[in-house]
Amino acid sequence: MAFDPLQERGIPLDEQLRTWQELNVTPIDPDHADPHTRCRILTMNGVETEAIAFSHQLARHCPDLEIKRQLARVRYIEAQQQKAVGWLLPGVMSVTETMIAYEQAAVDLTAWVARMEPDPYLKQSCQFVLLEHVDHLYRYANLYELIEHREAGKVVGRLTEVLPGRPAYLQHRDPPDNVRQPYDRSATEPLSRLHVLTLMSAEQQLTNFLMNAGPACIEPVARALCQEIAMIGEEHVTHYETLADPAESWWERLLNHEYNECYLYYSFMETESDPRVKSIWELHLGMELEQLRLASELFSRFDGRDPDQVLAAALPPPVTFEPNKAYVRDLLTTQIGYTTQGTGYAREPHEEFSAMQSAIMGGGKPPSERVIDDNRAVSGQEYRLETEGPHPANLQPSR
């Protein structure tokens, strides 16, 4: 039977507060945990962080003191959920290992969403960014071998291939060309809204991590690479956030946030392989069901509509982290040369793109290319993890 969060009873809000001991969870074992368990943790960390940031923005625009108080109560619980999820990550992972983990999550999450997305324009938007995350994973894997002398395959567990994607130096675009055409809230599928919100949240979290982790790197090549990809992350956040319809009210956005958290916690509870982590997904789902109920009341009160007019009648099929190797390889052979132009996509470089390339490169090789050259010089070859046969032959080579 389909799961309808609007019909399920959650944990009352006054029973959701947890002690420090409960929040300070034992992290997963980086050497033995399923890499896709870590991907689920990274994704939910980003989604919870987005929920908190959105609640703060809503509170700053809300004149009603009692509503501000309710938002503060829920937001404090959301912050506790974020701490429990975030603290599942093991502190022994290096910054570079964490970069690789984030990019594996980005590749397999974006690939799954692209495969499931019903809207052709939104599907294309996911596929476009996917090929850039493929390349980021490849660059970080080479950095990892260069500075730590270890193989990224031990981090990704051979679930995700490490291959060149759209070269990072081709990912620096004229900023206005990162703005997409938003979906129409009155016509789009509820699933599409969830997809956009999930990927926007994940991209923002990844970009924030790079902004903070980059300066913590010691090696100049790592600092430079992290800075370059963090700027691409800024493009990706713009890309996804502009897909959302700006006509959605604050209360509709709040409703979508809470429903999306229910969707993801339910999905991960259904697909999690680690029993201890699964119990956290289950607990948080119970909390989110009550938070959704409260958001539904605010939506009905201020928007004058029933939540059923906006949300799906039941949750879609669970979001699943799984290998997407064949799907990625197919895109590598067909869409590697794309760039953006206006709110659409172009197969060839255009004037604005070329001008940005000239301005940003400064006449030298970008860090994303230097790290490959440096690793070839030290290791004898660049690092790749090809589990499905030779790399597609018609890709643009690294410069």
> For 56-67, what is each residue's pLDDT tens digit?
999 999 999 999
Selection from 28, 127, 35, 40 nearest residue 320 by Cα: 40
Distance CA 78, CA 292 (A): 12
pLDDT of residue 364: 83
pLDDT of residue 349: 85
**C-alpha of 313 from chain center:** 25
pLDDT of residue 396: 47
pLDDT of residue 80: 98
pTM comes to 0.96
CB atoms under 10 Å from CB of 188, counted, come to 19
pLDDT of residue 4: 95
Check if the beta carbon of residue 318 is closer than 8 Å to that of residue 16: no
> For 118-166, what is each residue's pLDDT tens digit?
999 999 999 999 999 999 999 999 999 999 999 999 999 999 999 999 9
Residue ranges of the chain with per-residue pLDDT less than 70: 1, 392-399
pLDDT of residue 1: 64
pLDDT of residue 363: 77
CB atoms under 10 Å from CB of 31, counted, come to 8
